């Protein structure tokens, strides 16, 4: 029986020739056009209470190519166009499964420029990648090697708002294997003063990447604001300058989160976090910028898929659990604990708590209890009044 390996996407930058850039730009435009046409057709059918699936949109694509108005779709590889229809099918499946909203039309200026090629539309030999409709291989900057003997099953080419070109190769990675089991477990409390506070007492500083480049970003945005709407070349140049600053911030943030989450997964068998609703939390105008820069949702996503790779467990506890106000020593629950109070003394046992470390310890305790007793289980801790802490509806926990 053949062993199954984890599929990973290896992303690299590349420098296209003028001909390759023109071909890819045409492909991006055709992919966007086909996606929007198929979405419009499916939306109109939905209004008539009819259902259109992938096979029907594929037949529509064949018909569109035969028309004079859309004959230019024949000039690019057909595989990225078919993949666009498959992506639309997935978007509708997620919508009907209530996992996402209704699919949106792709914008020429705002949507991500990308095209996906399957094995029939590219050739990968001796470390050289050649796409369909291209005579020369891509000049890829191999910043890290692919797994030995790797054969890409899918190649995705994209261009970001800063004008950088990327190619992503989806390969099976036999090097990703479960790590040796360990008895270590850790609770994590996220925050803004410190990005993470662990139940071990360790506090991870918040790098605040956006704040470090805020002056540079503001200067670039002012220059963009001065450009007239019809000033095509100059406005596009100013827009790319803003995008480069955003890309610099995002790259540093992602690099930091990757290093941090990899360390946490390698060192701990069980990781307990809070099930925070970041989408709702960023509605707070005073904290939205800082919360977005902290990237808690991306942190959780990385922890979850890396834990799945390496045989670890991530437990998310109820977001309403009063982790900060509950004494981790005796279980007493405070009525109020304002956000500016960073240390407090328990009235029941007299223990002095660091707010964040205490929260991380409570998160770990309730997560391990839920793991043993089943999903949704919570420890029944006593309050000073003798009532169960979990029988009272806790107020919304502030970040």
Q: Which of 210, 274, 293, 304 is catalytic?
A: 274
* Overall average pLDDT of the 150-172 stretch: 95
Verify that 200 and 146 share a domain, yes or no: no
Verify that 146 and 197 share a domain, yes or no: no
Q: Is residue 213 part of a domain?
A: no
- Does residue 387 surpass a pLDDT of 50? no
Residue burial 297-331, b: 16+ Cβ < 10 Å; e: rest? bbbbebbbebbebbebebbbbeeebbbbbbbbeeb
Residue 86's SS3 state is helix
- Does residue 380 surpass a pLDDT of 70? no
Query: Tens digits of per-residue pLDDT, 110-129?
Result: 899 999 999 999 999 988 99
Please tell me the total count of domains within the chain: 2
- Does residue 378 surpass a pLDDT of 80? no
Across the chain, mean pLDDT equals 88
Host domain of residue 370? 178-204+250-399
Verify that 185 and 304 share a domain, yes or no: yes
Q: Is residue 233 part of a domain?
A: no
Verify that 169 and 79 share a domain, yes or no: yes
Query: Tens digits of per-residue pLDDT, 300-356?
Result: 999 999 999 999 999 999 888 888 888 888 888 888 888 888 888 888 888 888 889
Verify that 305 and 378 share a domain, yes or no: yes
- Does residue 42 surpass a pLDDT of 60? yes
Q: Which of 23, 210, 304, 356 is catalytic?
A: 356
pLDDT at residue number 372? 63
Verify that 106 and 145 share a domain, yes or no: yes
Q: Is 251 a catalytic residue?
A: no
- Does residue 381 surpass a pLDDT of 50? no
Token pair for 231? 């000033």
Give percent of the chain with pLDDT exceeding 90: 69
- Does residue 394 surpass a pLDDT of 50? no
Verify that 81 and 125 share a domain, yes or no: yes
pLDDT at residue number 4? 62
Query: Tens digits of per-residue pLDDT, 259-302?
Result: 999 999 999 999 999 998 888 898 988 889 999 999 999 999 99
Torsion of CA 120, 123, 129, 131, to 10 degrees: -50
pLDDT at residue number 371? 66
Verify that 263 and 155 share a domain, yes or no: no
- Does residue 397 surpass a pLDDT of 80? no
Using CA of residue 305, residue 307, residue 308, residue 309, what is the dihedral sign? positive
| Token pair 């007793």 in the structure block, residue | 373
Instruction: Using the 3D structure, point to which of 157, 173, 189 is the last residue of a domain.
Output: 173
Q: Is residue 282 part of a domain?
A: yes
pLDDT at residue number 267? 94
Verify that 341 and 365 share a domain, yes or no: yes
Give percent of the chain with pLDDT exceeding 70: 91
- Does residue 148 surpass a pLDDT of 50? yes
Q: Is residue 241 part of a domain?
A: no
Q: Is 172 a catalytic residue?
A: no
Verify that 89 and 195 share a domain, yes or no: no
Query: Tens digits of per-residue pLDDT, 206-254?
Result: 999 999 999 999 999 999 999 887 768 889 899 999 999 999 999 999 9
Instruction: Using the 3D structure, point to which of 173, 193, 213 is the last residue of a domain.
Output: 173
Q: Is residue 136 part of a domain?
A: yes
User: Where residue 139 falls among pLDDT bands split at 50, 70, 90?
Assistant: very high
User: Where residue 182 falls among pLDDT bands split at 50, 70, 90?
Assistant: very high
Q: Which of 23, 116, 189, 304 is catalytic?
A: 189
Q: Is 356 a catalytic residue?
A: yes
* Overall average pLDDT of the 8-37 stretch: 96
Q: Is residue 223 part of a domain?
A: no
Q: Is residue 231 part of a domain?
A: no
Q: Is residue 262 part of a domain?
A: yes
Verify that 188 and 128 share a domain, yes or no: no
Secondary structure (DSSP) of 258-299:
HHHHHHHHHH-SEEEEE---HHHHTT-TTTHHHHHHHTHHHH
d(CA 287, CA 281) in angstroms, rounded, equals: 8
Verify that 186 and 155 share a domain, yes or no: no
The number of CA neighbours under 13 Å toward the Cβ of 323 is 34
């Amino acid at each position: 029986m053949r062993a199954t390996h984890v599929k990973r996407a290896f992303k690299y930058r590349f420098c296209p020739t003028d001909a390759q850039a023109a071909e890819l730009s045409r492909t991006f435009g055709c992919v966007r056009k086909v996606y929007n046409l198929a979405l419009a057709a499916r939306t109109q059918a939905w209004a008539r209470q009819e259902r259109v699936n992938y096979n029907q949109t594929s037949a529509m694509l064949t018909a569109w190519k035969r028309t004079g108005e859309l004959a230019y779709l024949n000039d690019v590889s057909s595989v990225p166009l078919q993949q666009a229809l498959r992506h639309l099918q997935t978007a509708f499946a997620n919508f009907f499964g209530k996992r996402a909203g209704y699919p949106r039309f792709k914008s020429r200026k705002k949507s991500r420029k990308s095209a996906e090629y399957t094995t029939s539309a590219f050739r990968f030999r001796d470390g050289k990648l050649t796409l369909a409709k291209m005579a020369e291989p891509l000049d890829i900057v191999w910043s890290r090697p692919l797994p030995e003997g790797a054969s890409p099953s899918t190649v995705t080419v994209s261009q970001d708002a800063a004008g950088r070109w990327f190619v992503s190769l989806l390969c099976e990675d036999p090097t990703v294997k479960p790590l040796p089991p360990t008895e270590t477990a850790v609770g994590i409390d996220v925050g803004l003063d410190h990005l993470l506070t662990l139940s071990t007492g360790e506090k991870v500083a918040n790098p605040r990447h956006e704040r470090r480049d805020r002056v540079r970003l503001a200067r670039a945005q002012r220059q963009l604001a001065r450009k007239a709407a019809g000033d095509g070349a100059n406005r596009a140049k100013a827009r790319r300058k803003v995008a480069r600053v955003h890309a610099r911030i995002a790259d540093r943030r992602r690099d930091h989160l990757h290093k941090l989450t990899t360390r946490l997964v390698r060192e701990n068998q069980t990781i307990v976090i809070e099930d925070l609703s970041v989408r709702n939390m960023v509605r707070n105008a005073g904290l939205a910028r800082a919360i977005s820069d902290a990237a808690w949702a991306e942190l959780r996503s990385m922890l979850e898929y890396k834990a799945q790779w390496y045989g670890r467990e991530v437990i998310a506890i109820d977001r309403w659990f009063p982790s900060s106000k509950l004494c981790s020593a005796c279980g007493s629950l405070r009525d109020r604990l304002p956000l500016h109070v960073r240390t407090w003394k328990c009235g029941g046992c007299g223990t002095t708590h660091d707010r964040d470390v205490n929260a991380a310890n409570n998160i770990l305790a309730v997560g391990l209890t839920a793991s043993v007793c089943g999903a949704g289980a919570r420890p029944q801790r006593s309050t000073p009044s003798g009532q169960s802490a979990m029988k009272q509806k806790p107020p919304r926990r502030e970040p």
